[in-house]
Amino acid sequence: MKQEFYNLKIATNGQRLYEFTDQTLNWIEKNNFKNGILNLSIQHTSASIIVQENADPDVQTDLINYFDKLVPMNNKLYIHTTEGKDDMPAHIKSALTNNQISLSVKNKELLLGTWQGIYLFEHRLNPQTRTIIHHFFGEA
């Protein structure tokens, strides 16, 4: 069995979904991972990781609009507003989604559906640098 770690840095520029599927697939291929589990973890409390459709960009727009309605950016609703109107809403959105996910690797293939991609879901309005930890455990 083998374990490998990789820290992927993603520069964001506002609230949206940032796909990083290709970077993950390249890392799997580069390391010749055959079978195992890939755990992805984000080290931030105001962004999250999701697996989502990557064929129609309207899905991303609808997700952002839905979460903005579900968790409005209105400082009158929150106590924690230190960093602006997106501060507490970003934390709530992160709590409603995922800070880590596990995916299977089988026969050198990451097991995603036909129209699925892996995304960093940025909940903050201002530019950020996010770190996604990749941890593979399995055979190479």
Task: Kindly list the distances between the CA atom of residue 71 and the CA atoms of 12, 63, 93, in Å, as whole numbers in the listed order.
Answer: 20, 12, 7
Predicted confidence (pLDDT) per residue in 1-59, tens digit: 999 999 999 999 999 999 999 999 999 999 999 999 999 999 999 999 999 999 999 99
Predicted confidence (pLDDT) per residue in 56-92, tens digit: 999 999 999 999 999 999 999 999 999 999 999 999 9
Predicted confidence (pLDDT) per residue in 100-121, tens digit: 999 999 999 999 999 999 999 9
**Count of residues in the chain:** 140
75, 16 contact by CB (below 8 A): no
Q: How far apart are CA 56 and CA 46, in angstroms?
A: 25
